[in-house]
Amino acid sequence: MAVKIKTQHGLIDIDNDVIATVVGGAATDSYGVVGMASKNQIRDNVNDILKRDNYAKGVVVRQEDNGVAVDVNIIVSYGTKISEVSRTVQSKVKYNLETMLGITANAVNVTVQGVQVLSE
């Protein structure tokens, strides 16, 4: 499914993969986030951090009446405050969706699927 935006010049369709890429980029750009995790690690057979071209596997986008709800699956860095990292991800994802795509994020649900110790 895609988000449809009607303008005076016509219709704009934004695919869920585009939304997932914007969400994944915003999430991984946040301090304390090591990377994206797959939403279904058993089915996808992925235990590693997702690369930029696979962000759609770590994000679930649901269309709602006046916007979208997104679920973001992340891996955080050991030693960071998980609640603060999650709040930062929520606000950054919401901001990027509104500024880049013109889409209102009604809910940004963050699931921390792992903690990774970064080597020095």
Work out the burial of residue 6: count CB atoms within 10 Å of its CB; fewer than 13 is exposed, 13-18 middle, 19 or more buried.
exposed
Q: Residue 1: what residue type? A: M
Half-sphere exposure of 13 (CA within 13 A, CB side): 4
pTM: 0.84
106 compared with 57, residue with greater pLDDT: 106
34-54 pLDDT, tens per residue?
888 887 654 545 456 676 667
Domain assignment of residue 48, yes or no: yes
Phi first, then psi: give them for residue 66, nearest 5 degrees: -125, 35
Count of structural domains, the chain = 1
Residue 33 included in any domain: yes
Inside any domain, residue 1:
no
> Tokens in use for 104?
């209102």
Q: Does residue 10 lie in a domain region? A: no
The domain in which residue 47 lies consists of 15-116
Domain membership of residue 5 (yes or no) is no
